[in-house]
């Protein structure tokens, strides 16, 4: 019996999701995309899981769309079709908790886009990013053309997208694409630790805060500030003085522990 093409491990409130087509560099064929969608839809309903770490098996995070399959059956990117079964962008956007991308190796074109669907990126020293849409002859449909320039600046984004050149992990860190770079063996443990720290916050605030940041990112700055005030007022009605005091004690104790 063959192994599942997506592996799930549970670490407390964190799910480790691993793309598992290493012989194909985790290329995103229809079956893998459908399984990614299914897994995230399933985890969205799992009350015990409040963060996901997404990584790949072998040498790649994912090398992007399976070009061999696409050459035979068409690209079917999900952005241009009615079927929700393989629309990873919609499934990850609908996931309400943090997604940490642990980029272990190649993240190319569609794989780069999948990485950009995550909330936070950490990278192995072996990670390499590339946008080869212009060389393959397709237009991005999962957000790369808009997200990348907002993360690293429009000039750097144009350089990557117009050349198709690779971006190494340490340069990606310098450019602000990834938060930190780790030795290969340390990547997933570091990502799990960070995810666990996120799940240690108040669950309702964690979900609310992610939605506020994501929604505000798509607004003008002035509109986003107004939206923050609106949601802050709405939430304040559910906060008691006692709960604030208890939270203050916990935050103070955590700060002391972190400083030794």
* CATH number of the domain enclosing 26: 3.90.226.10
Of the three residues 160, 180, 199, the one that is the final residue of a domain is 199
113 in a domain, yes or no? yes
Q: Does residue 120 sit in the same domain as residue 208?
A: no
Residues 36, 130 within the same domain: yes
Full residue range of the structural domain in which residue 249 is found: 203-258
pLDDT of 22 above 90: yes
DSSP 8-class letter at 260 = -
What mean pLDDT is predicted for residues 108-121? Answer: 97
Is there a single domain that holds both residue 147 and residue 51? Answer: yes
Does residue 152 lie in a domain region?
Answer: yes
Q: What pLDDT is stored for residue 16 in this prediction?
A: 98
In a domain? residue 112: yes
What per-residue confidence (pLDDT) applies to 201?
A: 93
Q: What is the pTM of this model?
A: 0.89
Q: What is the pLDDT of residue 2?
A: 79
Give mean pLDDT, residues 213-241. Answer: 89
Per-residue pLDDT, averaged over 222-227, amounts to 97
| Residue 26 confidence (pLDDT) above 90 | yes
Domain shared by 230 and 127, yes or no: no
What is the number of domains present in the chain?
A: 2
Per DSSP, helices labelled H in the chain are: 30-44, 67-73, 88-93, 110-116, 133-136, 144-152, 154-163, 169-174, 184-199, 203-217, 221-236, 241-258
Q: Are residues 189 and 243 in the same domain?
A: no
Report the range of poorest mean pLDDT among 8-22, 49-63, 130-144. Answer: 130-144
Residue 66 has a pLDDT of 78
Q: What is the pLDDT of residue 145?
A: 96
Residue 73 has pLDDT above 90, yes or no: no
Place of tokens 């104790």: 253
Please indicate, yes or no, if residue 1 is contained in any of the structural domains. no
DSSP state of 3: P
| Boundary residue ending a domain (199, 217, 249) | 199
Q: Which of 178, 194, 185 is nearest to 52 (CA)?
A: 194
3-class secondary-structure state, position 33 = helix
Tens digit of each residue's pLDDT (9 = 90 or more) over 180-190? 999 999 999 99
Same domain, 113 and 231: no
The stretch 125-130 carries a mean pLDDT of 98
Mean pLDDT (the chain, rounded): 90
**143 in a domain, yes or no?**
yes
Q: How far apart are CA 51 and CA 43, in angstroms?
A: 9
Q: pLDDT confidence of 42, banded at 50, 70, 90?
A: very high
Which whole number is the average pLDDT over 122-142? 94
243/158 same-domain check? no
User: Given this model, what pLDDT does residue 67 score?
Assistant: 73
The verdict on residue 116 lying in a domain is: yes
Whether residue 158 is predicted with pLDDT greater than 50 in this model: the reply is yes
Sheet of strand 120-124: strand arrangement: 6-11, 14-19, 51-56, 99-103, 120-124, 180-182
Within-domain flag for 138: yes
In the chain, what percentage of residues exceed pLDDT 70?
A: 86
Residues 123 and 167 grouped into a single domain: yes
């Amino acid at each position: 019996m063959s192994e599942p093409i997506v592996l799930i491990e549970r670490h407390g409130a964190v799910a480790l999701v691993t793309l598992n087509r290493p012989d194909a560099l985790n290329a995103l064929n229809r079956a893998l995309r459908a399984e990614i969608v299914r897994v995230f839809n399933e985890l969205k309903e799992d009350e015990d899981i409040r963060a996901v770490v997404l990584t790949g098996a072998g040498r790649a995070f994912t090398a992007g769309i399976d070009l061999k399959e696409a050459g035979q059956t068409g690209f079917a990117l999900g952005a241009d079709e009615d079927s929700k079964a393989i629309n990873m962008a919609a499934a990850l956007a609908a996931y309400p908790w943090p997604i940490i991308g642990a980029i272990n190796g190649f993240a190319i074109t569609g794989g780069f886009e999948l990485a950009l669907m995550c909330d936070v990126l950490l990278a192995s020293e072996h990670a390499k990013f590339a946008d080869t849409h212009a060389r393959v002859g397709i237009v991005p449909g999962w957000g790369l053309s808009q997200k990348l320039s907002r993360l690293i600046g429009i000039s750097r984004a144009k350089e990557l997208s117009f050349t198709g050149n690779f971006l190494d992990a340490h340069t990606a860190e310098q450019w602000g694409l990834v938060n930190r770079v780790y030795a290969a063996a340390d990547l997933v443990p570091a990502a799990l630790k960070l995810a666990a720290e996120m799940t240690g916050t108040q669950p309702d605030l964690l979900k609310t805060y992610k939605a506020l940041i994501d929604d505000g990112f798509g607004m003008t700055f002035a509109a986003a500030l107004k939206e923050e005030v609106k949601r802050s007022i709405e939430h304040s009605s559910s906060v008691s003085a006692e709960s604030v005091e208890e939270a203050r004690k916990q935050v103070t104790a955590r700060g002391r522990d972190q400083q030794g």
